[in-house]
Structure 1
Amino acid sequence: MTSLPSSLELVLPLVDDLAHDIPEIERYRRLLDALRRLLPCDAIALLRLEGGELLPLAVDGLSDDTLGRRFKVADHPRFAALLANPEPTLFPADSPLPDPYDGLVDKAPRLDVHDCMGCSLQVDGKPWGLLTLDALEAGRFNAQDLATLRAFSSLAAATVSAAERMHVLQRAAEREHTRAESYRAAAGQSATRTLLGRSAAMRRLLDDIATVAPSDLTVLIRGETGVGKELVAQAIHAASSRADRPLIAVNCAALPENLLESELFGHVRGAFSGATGDRQGKFELADHGTLFLDEVADLSLSAQAALLRVMQSGQLQRVGSDREHRVDVRIIAASNRDLADEVRAGRCRADFYHRISVYPIGMPPLRERGNDVLILAGTFLEENRARLRLAGLRLAPESQSALLAWTWPGNVRELEHTIGRAALKALSRRGGGSRALTIEAMDLDLDVTTVTPVETVAAPDPAGLPLRAALDAYERMLIGAALERHDGSWAAAARELSVDRANLRRSALRLGVVPAAMGN
């Protein structure tokens, strides 16, 4: 137990933070840092309760993919016990309850006999989430530590309450998104994932979404196949004033030319063979809501002209009818091709291009998102764990390195399929069962041998190089040499270079440096 002055020195900055608008991630990082210094441990986490799931918001001492996981409380009795107890809980070192972090603690592949304690956090009289602490050494925590955690939990609750109030608009948008799920379900769409990631590229994307969402401007989402453009459209709609109205999605590439106007604008009975009744088109279904036109570059020139008329006037006619219908629809479009190039090639009308790309947004490819790969992998690991009915599904250190080293030409969709296949291979290799499962690098089947190994990294010659290139070359040499000295150990190299291990991996990935022996 630390002395009183030391404890005050740790908590007073947190009290001061309550009055300042600082980023949520930084606020939570400071909270965990202070608690870990008050109560030394090997892993600590802050999780928020949403429905029946716990979402990790900040972790220290746990693998990066933990941030992408969603822990169903019903699947994890330790979490359920913490939420059910208004007081902090210290589990016996030999507790038979499985630990949700088994295989996720940086310093240990397995959590058998160890110390674990935690507490629930209450905001406005309701359970908000959990603080959890794990120590690999049995007997590390005692009754006095429980009292310290009890006192600290009040400050932690005030911290998360301040963060909630600072982000009230964002939370309101999330609630509106939930209300809109029923409209999407009526339109034949299922619940979808949310945007995940903490890279600079994703922060820029989220800033763009926050800027344009409250307006009614037409948005063009640009990005490679598989990056998740539809998730961006859903996020824009959820944060808009139209969130309580439907979001209707149309795959333009799948629309036959002869049925396009009927699908978009509707038809009346007898308009053509098979038209046995009146039918609303997608525009009318999306009235006062949002219409998402995916793969808009695949529309023919005549289809573009028909769309342009509706976008300009807000009026449409059903096929076979002379009656005009007025609609109020916001358009969000997406394309994996550059529409400006399509205009130059004569495959896209210039007036349509300018109308559809009022506010362009770029969705970054996965290869430019650094450590987001592991966060997204955590989501897919948890989905496959539940689908395969496993107690746990984790990545071996070599697997994490392989994921970071791969260039992901198929982007997030490729990552999802890679994790799904690897989980099946790992399960088959082990021969079934329901205990925790580890995905090895060979299960991923990714050829990362083309990435520059550290042995080939030579001292740079800065002569004649631009400043940025010279700095990159020097950084590449330092990282490569440190990894070589420590036999590919990321943790040891990060300690030598005095940088965070996750940041070191991101820099190595950007510079094309991967240790020949893919270590932890």
Structure 2
Amino acid sequence: MENLRFIESIDTIIYDLSRELPKYQRYNRLLQAWRDIFSCDACVLLKLEGDNLIPKAANGLQIEAMGRHFPIAEHPRFEQILAHYENEVQKKVHRFDTDCELPDPYDGLIQTPDGQLNVHDCMGAVLVIDNKPWGIVTMDALDPQRFDSLDPKILNSMIGLTEVVIKTANLIFSLDQKVQRQEQVTASLISEKFSEKMIGSSPAMNMLNLEIDLVADSDLAALIYGESGTGKELVARRIHMSSKRAKEALITVNCAALPETMVESELFGHVAGAFTGATKNRLGKFELADSGTLFLDEIGELPLSIQAKLLRVIQFGELQRLGSDKPHKVDVRLITATNRDLAKEVAEGRFRDDLYHRLTVYPIKVPSLRERGNDILLLAGSFLAKIQRKVGLNNLTLSKDAERALLAYEWPGNVRELEHLLSRASLRAAARNRKDDRVVILESSDLDIQSAIGESNASLHTNMNTDSDVIVKDMASVGHVAGQDDIVISTVDNDNNLKQITDDFQTQFIKKMLAENNGNSAATARAIGVDRSNLHRLMKRLDIQ
């Protein structure tokens, strides 16, 4: 009868080896086969981890047993079972006498009338994987003579089959991890190959490129901040591709797009059974980015509870998967980005102060598009080259009026807004031109941003230095291109008062530049190379309407 049950169980186990099953399910089915073959009341699979035995599957014990750790030094029965591996020529199996007085680790965990095992049959075997003790398998039976007639050949075959199942499960899990990681690496490389390059030669962009080159060589945590649509993700990619980790994965996570209930699992991973629907172990983004770079976009959106766990990973390079208490070491270069004022978020209690200081080891500001001057036209040219291929036109170009309109606009949506605006304008231009026209010119009317320009001009920024000497210095640096030779500076008779002369010069100069820029103060500020808020304040002081 035992032989028949053994043959039937082998068929089931071999069939399971060919199936994609979570580890815990594979182990549970294996233990059920042990119970079916040997008619025992409980069978437990325990893994050796340091000085502890950890249950990986239990059939016949109360559920709480799976949450326990068994220190070997505190459980002499386990100690005796493991002692059989000290000499490989010894047998792996150890059966305890029914009158053994050693305490049983499962007392109270097997359902009996008094909660105790009392006199029973108990045995265990060491499981060896790759010539090392992996753990043990134990069997308990309430009948003291249950294992008297046990066939040792069948028992040894089951021990060997169990070792095969464990090794196979480990190999499958390891391969699954490698596949997940390789998929992320491949996706990252493909994305990088076809991603946009950072375009621009303005002073603001030159400074940004210097900052990127400076921080890329280090492993310092970098916080990229700036307005929405400025290209913070491109900056993160540049940092990664210029770093010593460039051959490893760049894993990107948009924190704002993650449901709060899934943030922890997404970042740190989970084990099978951690929550409803968690049918198998899953690597988190930190482990996928091991040896590479992890980019957390919109970091300001993380819940406070996750911020605490993120801080631990940054401090110790150690994480725990959801549902597990086993630590995992990771070596990750962390880059974060936000369009929020994190210092303000800290002050208002929405962001942890200690995490803020960990993330801002090297802060990098991405300039807004309105700070980048003629970069707007360079970007427009790059976008139009892509758009013309998508819409099937030969050559898309900007008229002079369209160029002036782009330079005058405030760009609250920055580079992203520029690309979308040009896409819409190109469709309008394509509708009034033939597909075979050699050149299609985008007019300012195609852009449809005149109303937005008017609104932008009405916005005043009042948080910058307003001293007029700043304006004078800025103007002096650009005066040779502004045509100030045409400006007549009126003087006064009170000993050629320098302040009055300066005010007159500034008044005439600003009025002339305003006229050249159709009264647009923002465009005027860009044309003469001064800060727009400084220009507004000076115009107010000089009573320039």
- Give the TM-score range, shorter chain: 0.5 to 0.7
Q: What is the SS of the residue equivalent to 2:211?
A: helix
Q: What is the SS of the residue equivalent to 1:360?
A: strand
Code of the residue aligned with 2:219 in structure 1: it is D
TM-score, structure 2 as length reference: 0.53
Indicate how the Cα distance of structure 1 residues 436 and 340 shifts in structure 2: closer, same or farther if over 3 A, else same.
same
Q: What is the CA–CA distance in structure 2 between the aligned matches of 1:219 and 1:391, rounded to whole Å?
A: 42
Structure with bigger gyration radius: 2
Residue 507 of structure 1: aligned partner:
528
Computed over aligned residues only, the root mean square deviation of the Cα atoms, in angstroms, reads 3.1
- Residues 1:217 and 2:206 are matched in the alignment: no
Contact 2:252 2:297 in 1 (8 A): yes
- Residues 1:328 and 2:331 are matched in the alignment: yes
Residue 234 of structure 2: aligned partner:
231
**How far does residue 477 in structure 1 lie from its aligned partner after superposition?**
3.9
Residue 466 of structure 1: aligned partner:
468
- Residues 1:481 and 2:481 are matched in the alignment: no
Indicate how the Cα distance of structure 1 residues 379 and 509 shifts in structure 2: closer, same or farther if over 3 A, else same.
farther
Contact 1:184 1:247 in 2 (8 A): no
Residue 127 of structure 1: aligned partner:
none
Residue 435 of structure 1: aligned partner:
438
Residue 407 of structure 1: aligned partner:
410
Residue 358 of structure 1: aligned partner:
361
Contact 1:393 1:436 in 2 (8 A): yes
Residue 241 of structure 1: aligned partner:
244
Residue 43 of structure 2: aligned partner:
none
Of 186-195 and 294-303, deviating more is: 186-195
Code of the residue aligned with 2:307 in structure 1: it is Q
Contact 2:197 2:234 in 1 (8 A): yes
- Which of structures 1 and 2 has the larger relative contact order (alpha carbons within 8 angstroms, sep 6+)? 1
Residue 183 of structure 1: aligned partner:
185
**How far does residue 345 in structure 1 lie from its aligned partner after superposition?**
0.4
Q: Given the alignment, which residue of 290, 293, 308 partners 1:290?
A: 293
- Residues 1:416 and 2:447 are matched in the alignment: no
Q: Alpha-carbon deviations, 1:140-192, whole Å to 9, x = none?
A: xxxxxxxxxxxxxxxxxxxxxxxxxxxxxxxxxxxxxxxx9982516895631
Q: What is the SS of the residue equivalent to 2:441?
A: strand
**How far does residue 401 in structure 1 lie from its aligned partner after superposition?**
0.4
**How far does residue 504 in structure 1 lie from its aligned partner after superposition?**
10
**How far does residue 509 in structure 1 lie from its aligned partner after superposition?**
8.6
Q: Alpha-carbon deviations, 1:83-133, whole Å to 9, x = none?
A: xxxxxxxxxxxxxxxxxxxxxxxxxxxxxxxxxxxxxxxxxxxxxxxxxxx
TM-score, structure 1 as length reference: 0.55
Q: What is the SS of the residue equivalent to 2:340?
A: coil
The correspondence of residues 128-207 of structure 1 with structure 2, limited to 5 A, is 183=185, 185=187, 189=191, 191-207=194-210
**How far does residue 379 in structure 1 lie from its aligned partner after superposition?**
0.9
Q: What is the SS of the residue equivalent to 1:430?
A: coil
Q: What is the CA–CA distance in structure 1 between the aligned matches of 2:352 and 2:393, rounded to whole Å?
A: 52
The correspondence of residues 32-51 of structure 1 with structure 2, limited to 5 A, is none
Contact 1:389 1:434 in 2 (8 A): no
Q: What is the SS of the residue equivalent to 1:291?
A: strand
Contact 1:220 1:361 in 2 (8 A): yes
Q: Alpha-carbon deviations, 1:419-457, whole Å to 9, x = none?
A: 10110011112354453210000000112346879xxxx
Residue 60 of structure 1: aligned partner:
none
Residue 3 of structure 1: aligned partner:
none
Code of the residue aligned with 2:353 in structure 1: it is A
Q: What is the SS of the residue equivalent to 1:216?
A: coil
Q: What is the CA–CA distance in structure 2 between the aligned matches of 1:268 and 1:484, rounded to whole Å?
A: 68
Residue 391 of structure 2: aligned partner:
388
**How far does residue 247 in structure 1 lie from its aligned partner after superposition?**
0.5
Q: What is the CA–CA distance in structure 2 between the aligned matches of 1:395 and 1:509, rounded to whole Å?
A: 26
Q: Which runs of 5+ in 1 are unaligned?
A: 1-179, 454-463, 489-501, 514-520
Q: How many residues align?
A: 310
Q: What is the SS of the residue equivalent to 2:380?
A: helix
**How far does residue 506 in structure 1 lie from its aligned partner after superposition?**
3.6
Q: What is the SS of the residue equivalent to 1:332?
A: strand
Residue 251 of structure 1: aligned partner:
254
Residue 319 of structure 2: aligned partner:
316
Share of identical aligned residues, percent? 50
Contact 1:405 1:451 in 2 (8 A): no
Contact 1:404 1:509 in 2 (8 A): no
Indicate how the Cα distance of structure 1 residues 403 and 477 shifts in structure 2: closer, same or farther if over 3 A, else same.
farther
Q: What is the SS of the residue equivalent to 1:381?
A: helix
**How far does residue 482 in structure 1 lie from its aligned partner after superposition?**
7.1
Of 225-234 and 186-195, deviating more is: 186-195
Q: What is the CA–CA distance in structure 1 between the aligned matches of 2:282 and 2:335, rounded to whole Å?
A: 23
The correspondence of residues 49-68 of structure 1 with structure 2, limited to 5 A, is none
Q: What is the SS of the residue equivalent to 1:394?
A: strand
Q: Alpha-carbon deviations, 1:198-247, whole Å to 9, x = none?
A: 11111111111111110000000110111110011001111110000000
